[in-house]
Amino acid sequence: ELKVEQNPLFLSMQEGKNYTIYCNYSTTSDRLYWYRQDPGKSLESLFVLLSNGAVKQEGRLMASLDTKARLSTLHITAAVHDLSATYFCAVEGGGSQGNLIFGKGTKLSVKP
Amino acid sequence: GAVVSQHPSWVICKSGTSVKIECRSLDFQATTMFWYRQFPKQSLMLMATSNEGSKATYEQGVEKDKFLINHASLTLSTLTVTSAHPEDSSFYICSATLGQSRVWDTEAFFGQGTRLTVV
């Protein structure tokens, strides 16, 4: 059974600080996704990581993928309040492409 | 990115009635759509895979007679919650992929979600 584990599940941080969210998965996959979800809203695609060693950056967020370690990280630099949301990583679960298995999510709260 | 529209955004229904949720790909054709369910403060769980012109594939533990899925065209999939009960109250989200011919086309695009409350 494919498992996707995120940690931490809850993260409270001050504005201006840096932090990293980790995503481990239990099977081989060369594709990993990061999404953001605001309360009561659907998912917003942040990053699609397609190969080992892939690194992508958008604003204060940077994601990386190590397929050998089955690990992806989402690094937050100099956090601001607007980044407060729940962040999910996901990998493809097999069968039809696009079928995603999600981690439990990391609820990020950035305080002034 | 591609746009997936889900309707309605929220619905309240009485216990025992049926509710239909629509998922449309607005600017692309989606041979495959996915339906997810999300309980409060939890992650998304895949319910079923919907393929145009064929029967949906349901995940283990999902009642196919209760959650009817129809994928009648390349741009529309519907989820009908039949004889809804309060425990069916949840956030339902659909997603669609562009296709399988190219690696990047397998990215999933999500609808806005539908919050179902059964009273």
Instruction: List, for residues B9-48, the tens digit of each pLDDT value.
Output: 999 999 999 999 999 999 888 878 999 999 988 999 999 9
pLDDT at site A95: 64
Using CB atoms, pick whichever of B43, B49, B109 lies closest to residue A96: B49
3-state DSSP call for residue B50?
Answer: strand
Q: φ, ψ for residue B88 (rounded to 5)?
A: -85, -10
| Distance between CA atoms of residues A34 and A89, nearest Å | 4
pLDDT at site B62: 95
In this complex, do A104 and B112 lie within 8 Å of one another by their Cβ atoms?
Answer: no
Q: Å from A108 to nearest chain B CA?
A: 13
**Residue B39 is which amino acid?**
F
pLDDT at site B17: 98
pLDDT at site A81: 96
| Distance between CA atoms of residues A67 and A50, nearest Å | 10
* Dihedral Cα B54, B59, B65, B69, nearest 10 deg: -40
Q: What is the mean pLDDT of each run of 10 residues along chain A (112 residues)?
A: 92 95 88 92 90 91 94 97 96 75 95 90
* Model confidence band, residue B101 (pLDDT cutoffs 50, 70, 90): very low
DSSP character for B59?
P
Q: Which helix (DSSP H) or strand (DSSP E) does residue A84 occupy? A: none
Q: Å from A98 to nearest chain B CA?
A: 5
Question: With contact defined as beta carbons under 8 Å apart, do A4 and A33 qualify?
Answer: no
Task: Report whether pLDDT(B4) > 50.
Answer: yes
Question: For chain B, what is the mean pLDDT?
Answer: 89
pLDDT at site B28: 84
Q: Å from A43 to nearest chain B CA?
A: 6
B42: which chain A residues are within 8 Å (Cβ-Cβ)? 104-105
| Residues on chain A bordering chain B, Cβ-to-Cβ distance under 8 angstroms | 31, 33, 35, 40-43, 45, 48, 50, 88, 92-93, 95-105
pLDDT at site B107: 73
Q: Which residues pair with B22 in a beta bridge?
A: B7, B78
In this complex, do A97 and B106 lie within 8 Å of one another by their Cβ atoms?
Answer: yes
Name the one residue in this structure whose structure tokens are 């060369």: A30
